[in-house]
């Protein structure tokens, strides 16, 4: 009986250690949120420092990129009141880079949804004389 106790403990210990290991995302499946994508495309993170900035910040719609002017130049602003309570600002180049990336992600998701198997696979019983074949009902078979 003493021999079986350590032998049973080793697999249980291994299973316990495996349960503690966090799942790492695969290379094509990174967990990048919108704020990280904004920063990567060239937007700058601006913190709110004054009451006037806070008033302007509240006027921007949350979690939407909107065009505006800043010091006479056209910029794009993303207000984030929930995660960092800050503003992301970027020029036309940063905006175009972000939109190109979003379009590519959307196209990848669309391609993936169209190419995944939906589970529907017609079998031979559905074709040519099976219960789902109603061609003979319409007189399409020629004898």
- Per-residue model confidence as pLDDT tens digits over 120-129: 666 665 556 5
Burial 84-106 (b: 16+ CB within 10 A, else e): eebbbbbbeebbebbeeeeeeee
Residues in the chain: 143
Up-side HSE of residue 89: CA atoms within 13 Å toward CB? Answer: 14
pLDDT tens-digit profile of 33-66? 888 899 999 999 999 999 988 888 888 888 899 9
Strands across the sheet with 73-80, in order?
44-47, 86-90, 73-80, 65-70
Least confident window among 13-22, 46-55, 62-71, 81-90: 13-22
Is residue 46 within 8 Å of 87, Cβ to Cβ?
A: yes
The per-residue pLDDT for 21 is 47
What does the block give as tokens for 130?
A: 């099976």
CA 103, 72, 99 angle in degrees (round to 5)?
Answer: 5
């Amino acid at each position: 009986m003493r021999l079986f106790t350590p032998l049973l403990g080793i697999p249980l210990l291994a299973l316990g250690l495996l349960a503690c290991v966090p799942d790492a995302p695969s290379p094509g499946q990174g967990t990048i949120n919108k704020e990280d994508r904004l920063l990567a495309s060239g937007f700058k993170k601006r913190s709110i420092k004054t009451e006037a900035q806070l008033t302007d910040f509240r006027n921007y719609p949350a979690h939407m990129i909107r065009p505006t002017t800043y010091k006479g130049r056209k910029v794009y602003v993303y207000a984030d009141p929930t995660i960092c309570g800050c503003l992301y600002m970027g020029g036309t180049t940063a905006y175009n880079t972000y939109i190109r990336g979003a379009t590519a992600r959307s196209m990848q998701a669309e391609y993936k949804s169209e190419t995944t198997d939906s589970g529907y696979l017609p079998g031979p019983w559905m074709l040519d004389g099976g219960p789902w074949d109603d061609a003979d009902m319409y007189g399409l078979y020629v004898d």
